[in-house]
Amino acid sequence: MAKCSDECNSVSRCDIFDFMAKYVGMTVVHPGGFTATNELLDRLKIDQNSQVIDIARGKGTSAFHIAKRYGCKVTAIDISPELIEEARHLAGKRDKAKRVNFLVCDAMKLPFEDESFDAAVSQAMLVLVDDKIQAIKEAKRVGAVNVAATT
């Protein structure tokens, strides 16, 4: 996708994050903030022994939050190498960073074995993908049945 220039006024023609920043005024795609994140997490059975995958994690804000709140290990994935690079940079500035591993991969084809994680979390990812059913199937496949997502 192209950067959002003056000629680019459609979400279908430019990067979603640039579009949201320029036309909606959202520099972070995190609807509901941490209130929504905590409500989502409360639905899952996560504790300090859990392995959690956080899908479409962007800069890692929620992944760090999960690691801090539960003391568990989090694998945070995003399709954007630039966002993962920024998340890794931010990880160097946080105490709980060693509990969070960032990987570039596609939520539609997760490179993990079935039931590799105790829980799968995704917040605001479904609005970004065309095949929502496939994205949910992949999250369920790697996170067993302990999956929570918001659009």
Query: What is the residue-level pLDDT of the chain in tens, covering all 151 positions?
Result: 445 555 555 445 555 556 555 655 555 555 667 787 888 899 888 999 999 999 998 888 889 999 999 999 999 999 999 989 989 988 887 765 689 999 999 999 999 999 999 999 988 777 778 898 999 999 999 986 666 555 5
Structural contact between residues 50 and 63, judged by C-beta atoms closer than 8 angstroms: no
CB crowding 98-120: b at 16 or more within 10 Å, else e: ebbebeeeebeebebeeebbbbb
134, amino acid identity: Q
Tokens 């199937």 sit on residue: 137
pLDDT at res. 93: 76
- Predicted confidence at residue 2, as pLDDT, reads 44
pLDDT of residue 146: 64
Phi and psi at residue 41, to the nearest 5°: -65, -35
